[in-house]
Amino acid sequence: MKLKSLKITAIMIFLSLAVSAQDWIVPDDQKNVANPLPYNLENVKKGKELFLKNCKSCHGDPGKNNVLPLVPPPVDITSEKMQKNTEGEIFYKITHGRGAMPQFGATISDDDRWRIVNYIQNFNPARQPMLVNAPATKAKLLASVNEQEKKVEIFAEYLAADGYIKLPNAEITISAKKNFGNIEIGKVRTGENGRAIFTIPETLIGDEEGYVNIVVALDETFIADVVTLDKAKVGQLKQVQKLIRPGVLWSTNENIQIWLLISYICVTGAAWLTIGYVAFQLFRIKKSSKTESSNIS
Amino acid sequence: MNKIESPAESRKMLDKIMTDLTRSITKKDELTRFWFFILIMFIIVGVWGWIIQIKTGLGVTGMRDYVSWGMYIANFVFFVAVSLIGFLISSALALLKISWAKPISRVAEQVAIAAVALAGIIIVMDMGRPDRFLNVFLHGRFASPIIWDVTVVTTYLTISVLLFYLPLIPDLALMRDHMADKLPKWKIKLYTILALGWKGNPEQYKIIYHSMRILMLLIIPVGLSIHTVTSWLFASTLRSGWDTTILGPYFVAGAFVAGTAAVIIVMFVYRVRYRLKDYFEDLHFDYMGKLLVFVCLVYLYFNINEYLVPGYKMKLGEGIHLRELFVGNYSVMFWFVQLTGLVLPIVLLLFRYFRKPFPIMVISFVVLVASWLKRYIIVIPTLEHPFLPVQNVPDHFKHYSPTSTEIMITIFSFVSAMLIITILAKLFPVITMWEYAEEKGIDKKYFSEKP
């Protein structure tokens, strides 16, 4: 088994050395395929999401050059090397991969791959960037859960020149708190009055009694505390499978066999009562030496 | 028993018995100091090892994911086993009215107390977070053999201490009354307190006899449980080598072998060191030798059952385990244990010569070492062969070998047990004086005479 994996590694190293020696040539007809999706905020944003999910682990954060140390290395998407690719080239490379660069043709849809291309284009010096890093504004969120109607009511404010005022048209993410982090259950936008109402989906599963902690957050263009609401009964009951069959001896204290518990208590109790009785005899010895002064009978 | 009539003779005799039997207490020489020095040095080293272990965690031991019970647990089982002798000699034999066992019963109790106390300490030392020890009681599951084990170990320790203490009370009074000039003040003070103002009136003797009898009866089920429950820690799993119904009696029988050997060694040391030839007589060693043969035979019988039956079938997991013992990595240790720990004592001790004090002491020592290794063989090889494949782990996860810290701490436990026995011998007579004197025909009335 060991030998086999050694062999594979050897072949991989050989291959990667071999390919790195040459440039990544994209067939001419592919090179100039035009991007069918328009370069706009929506597509770039979606592309960013996809990039964070699928590519960041190797290519790192844009502009930070914190790529994974592979041979040949993945490139930072803001780098010149990346940006001198045409859109068609990038699309082709994502689709087919090479060496350590996976092929995404089968896992990410054509449209989504083009969206990623759009996102990479955001860092192209020849383009007007769609995502600008405006300084984040301070904001505040107020939220409460309406248990009867299964709705989350939200009010958002942001810090303007003269104090906090209502924040219209901001995207708010609603999640449910789980044991290992939050799971997103939906998004809403605030209206003109800074308010938003989110209807909790019927399918949300709570704990054994249906309780859920709803978490409300603004996107990262705002500096605002994430609001974690108190437990509310807005989810379905979690079906907990009883893993221990009734009738087994090894069990938790909740479903211990009653006869076992009684036996334990009786046996231990009897032993310690007897010990207690003997200890009491020691007192009798002591008492007897006080009351009687006789030497011997 | 033949009554000694003349008061003068009685007094003289009692005096001699007291001088002899308190020699362990009065004797103070270089050797004693040296012995304490050695013990305490080793204990300091062991405690230092433990501090390292607490600071760094159980990673300093050889225990890893697969072998998570190592030398400590083997050692724990060994000490629980040794402690069982207290129940055999001072209760079972006494209830059967086997009189030769009487002078030995205090030695047996000393060994039992030291062993069971250490068993408790070792368990704490095996814990990665000993500060969470109380959680065993706070969050214990009543369905878990571990809780049963903790319960029964504490109960057994308490009963053993009481069984040691009760027949000691008249002795304490004797020393309080007769030895004020020979012993330091604090000792006399200790005896006075512990003697509970003993007067030696018939009512008090009656209470002692009565309580002793109750304890002797009580310790039989408790004694059997302590090692049976310890065996259930193993037997209630599905692991090859542990998953057998015979494990309870198997452990108990093995315990008697280990305990008898330990008592013989301690008896021999007392006999030589405190010149007690007339008390631990050749006859006692002879009988203990026969007892050892007997318990070894029982244990041999269980061993044959334990290995032959699964060995005949060689079920997949069991077969891997057994092959490892018979011809594999553990074969040298396994056959050493079976031969020197079982076959050898049975064969040799059949000859009268080997039941003489010195030879039987040497044999007992070998048996005791083999008993310890036997526990190692019971605990570790099984853990090295889990049912699920062992994959993608470093090599030292696959095979267990104890680290120096573990060995240091294990040595600590032996030395501590010896220290407890030594302290008991330095504080209290090693044979019950009043019982012995009575056996020799001295009337009880002379005990309570003030000099």
**Which amino acid makes up residue A8?**
I
**Is the pLDDT score of A297 beyond 60?**
no
Please check whether residue B101 is in contact with residue B433, taking contact to mean a CB–CB distance below 8 angstroms: no
- Which structural domain range is residue A173 located in? 137-233
Residue A96 inside a domain? The answer is: yes
Average pLDDT over residues B216-227: 93
Residues contacting residue B234 through CB under 8 Å, at least 6 positions apart: B242, B247, B378, B379, B382
Residue B220 sits at φ, ψ, to 5 deg, of -65, -55
Check CB contact of B162 with chain A, cutoff 8 Å: yes
Residue A293 inside a domain? The answer is: no
| Residue B151 to chain A, least CA–CA distance (Å) | 8
Q: Distance between CA B128 and CA B58 in Å, rounded?
A: 6
Q: Distance between CA B354 and CA B290 in Å, rounded?
A: 11
Give yes or no: residues A110 and A71 share one domain. Answer: yes
Q: For chain A, what is the total number of helices (H) and then of strands (E)?
A: 8, 11
pLDDT at position B90 is 86
For residue A270 the two structure tokens come to 């009897």
pLDDT at position B378 is 94
Residue A190 inside a domain? The answer is: yes
Residues 202-231 of B with CB under 8 A from A: 202-204, 207-208, 210-211, 214-215, 218, 221-222
Q: Sorting pLDDT into bands at 50, 70 and 90, what band is A5?
A: low
The partner residue sitting opposite A278, judged by closest CB among B155, B202, B215, is B215
3-state SS class at A214: strand
Parallel, antiparallel or unpaired: strands A195-199 and A151-160: antiparallel
**Is the pLDDT score of B1 beyond 60?**
no
E strand map for chain A: 137-146, 151-160, 163-166, 171-178, 181-189, 195-199, 211-212, 214-218, 222-223, 227-228, 232-233
Selected for mutation to probe chain A from B169, B207, B224 (highest A CB count within 10 Å) is B207
Q: Which of A66-80, A132-146, B219-233, B325-339 has the lowest mean pLDDT?
A: A132-146
- Final residue in a domain of this structure, among A233, A251, A282: A233
- Kindly tell me the burial class for residue B431, based on how many C-beta atoms sit within 10 Å of its own C-beta (0-12, 13-18, 19 or more): buried
Parallel, antiparallel or unpaired: strands A181-189 and A222-223: unpaired
- Kindly tell me the burial class for residue A291, based on how many C-beta atoms sit within 10 Å of its own C-beta (0-12, 13-18, 19 or more): exposed
Q: Sorting pLDDT into bands at 50, 70 and 90, what band is B172?
A: very high
Residue A62 inside a domain? The answer is: yes
Q: Which of A19-33, B198-212, B249-263, B343-357 has the lowest mean pLDDT?
A: A19-33
The partner residue sitting opposite B448, judged by closest CB among A261, A268, A296, is A296
- Kindly tell me the burial class for residue B283, based on how many C-beta atoms sit within 10 Å of its own C-beta (0-12, 13-18, 19 or more): exposed
Residues contacting residue B237 through CB under 8 Å, at least 6 positions apart: B243
Check CB contact of A274 with chain B, cutoff 8 Å: yes
Average pLDDT over residues B3-11: 76
The partner residue sitting opposite A297, judged by closest CB among B201, B210, B221, is B201
For residue B317 the two structure tokens come to 């997991």
For residue A197 the two structure tokens come to 């109402």
Residue A80 inside a domain? The answer is: yes
For residue A244 the two structure tokens come to 């221990």
Residues in chain A: 297
pTM across the whole model: 0.71
**Which amino acid makes up residue B58?**
L
pLDDT at position A179 is 86
Residues contacting residue B132 through CB under 8 Å, at least 6 positions apart: none
Give yes or no: residues A100 and A183 share one domain. Answer: no
Q: What is the mean pLDDT of chain A?
A: 86
pLDDT at position A1 is 45
Q: Distance between CA A1 and CA B89 in Å, rounded?
A: 58
Quick one: what percent of chain A has pLDDT higher than 70?
90
Quick one: what percent of chain B has pLDDT higher than 70?
98
Q: Distance between CA B157 and CA B120 in Å, rounded?
A: 9
Question: Which of A221-230, B132-141, B286-295 reaches the highest mean pLDDT?
Answer: B286-295
Q: Sorting pLDDT into bands at 50, 70 and 90, what band is A11?
A: low
Residue tagged 């080239």 (tokens): A89
Residue A28 inside a domain? The answer is: yes
The partner residue sitting opposite A289, judged by closest CB among B143, B166, B196, is B196
CA distances from B93 to A206, A237, B267, B274, B293 (A): 64, 63, 17, 25, 16
Check CB contact of A25 with chain B, cutoff 8 Å: no
First to last CA, chain B: 26
For residue B313 the two structure tokens come to 């079938």
Q: Distance between CA B346 and CA B356 in Å, rounded?
A: 15
Check A253 against B143: CB less than 8 A apart. Answer: yes
Which residues share a beta bridge with A222?
A137
For residue A240 the two structure tokens come to 């907990």
Give yes or no: residues A203 and A148 share one domain. Answer: yes
Question: Which of A4-18, B192-206, B404-418 reaches the highest mean pLDDT?
Answer: B404-418
Q: Which of A259-263, B26-30, B204-208, B311-315 has the lowest mean pLDDT?
A: B26-30
Residue A175 inside a domain? The answer is: yes
Q: What is the DSSP letter of B102?
A: G
- Final residue in a domain of this structure, among A211, A233, A255: A233
**Is the pLDDT score of B228 beyond 90?**
yes
- Final residue in a domain of this structure, among A121, A150, A174: A121
**Is the pLDDT score of A78 beyond 80?**
yes
Give yes or no: residues A95 and A165 share one domain. Answer: no
Summarize pLDDT for B415-451 with one digit per residue, the tens.
Answer: 999 999 999 999 999 998 888 888 888 888 778 776 6
How many domains is chain A partitioned into structurally? 2
pLDDT at position B225 is 93
Average pLDDT over residues A246-265: 86
For residue B298 the two structure tokens come to 């029982």
Planar angle of CA B375, B376, B380, nearest 5 degrees:
120
B196: nearest CA in chain A? A286
- Kindly tell me the burial class for residue B17, based on how many C-beta atoms sit within 10 Å of its own C-beta (0-12, 13-18, 19 or more): buried
Average pLDDT over residues A277-281: 94
Residue B243's nearest CA partner among B138, B176, B297, B317 is B317
pLDDT at position B394 is 86
Q: Sorting pLDDT into bands at 50, 70 and 90, what band is A294?
A: very low
CATH of the domain at A145: 2.60.40
SS3 readout for B289-330: HHHHHHHHHHHHHHHHHHHHHHHHHCCHHHHHHHHHHHCCCC
* Residues of chain A contacting B214 with CB distance shorter than 8 Å: 274, 277-278
| Residue B450 to chain A, least CA–CA distance (Å) | 10
Check B141 against A296: CB less than 8 A apart. Answer: no
CA distances from A69 to A14, A73, B219, B238, B316 (A): 17, 6, 69, 46, 46
Q: Which of A15-24, A113-122, A213-222, B169-178 has the lowest mean pLDDT?
A: A15-24
**Is the pLDDT score of A68 beyond 50?**
yes
Q: Sorting pLDDT into bands at 50, 70 and 90, what band is A8?
A: low
**Is the pLDDT score of A91 beyond 90?**
yes
Q: What is the DSSP letter of B341?
A: I
Check CB contact of B347 with chain A, cutoff 8 Å: no
Give yes or no: residues A103 and A186 share one domain. Answer: no
Check A296 against B198: CB less than 8 A apart. Answer: no
Average pLDDT over residues A185-207: 92
- DSSP, residue by residue, A121-177: HTT-TTS--SS--PPPEEEEEEEEEETTTTEEEEEEEEEETTEEEE--S-EEEEEEE
Q: Distance between CA B294 and CA A58 in Å, rounded?
A: 72
Give yes or no: residues A154 and A207 share one domain. Answer: yes
The partner residue sitting opposite B201, judged by closest CB among A251, A256, A292, is A292
**Is the pLDDT score of B348 beyond 80?**
yes
Residue A99 inside a domain? The answer is: yes
Q: Distance between CA B193 and CA A72 in Å, rounded?
A: 84
Sort residue B200 into left (φ over 0), alpha (ψ -120 to 50) or beta: left
Q: Sorting pLDDT into bands at 50, 70 and 90, what band is A254?
A: confident
Check CB contact of A294 with chain B, cutoff 8 Å: yes
**Is the pLDDT score of A282 beyond 50?**
yes
CATH of the domain at A57: 1.10.760.10
B236: nearest CA in chain A? A250
Residues contacting residue A284 through CB under 8 Å, at least 6 positions apart: B207
Residue B178's nearest CA partner among B191, B194, B196 is B191
**Is the pLDDT score of B66 beyond 50?**
yes
For residue B94 the two structure tokens come to 């006494």
Q: Distance between CA A228 and CA B11 in Å, rounded?
A: 88
Give yes or no: residues A37 and A116 share one domain. Answer: yes
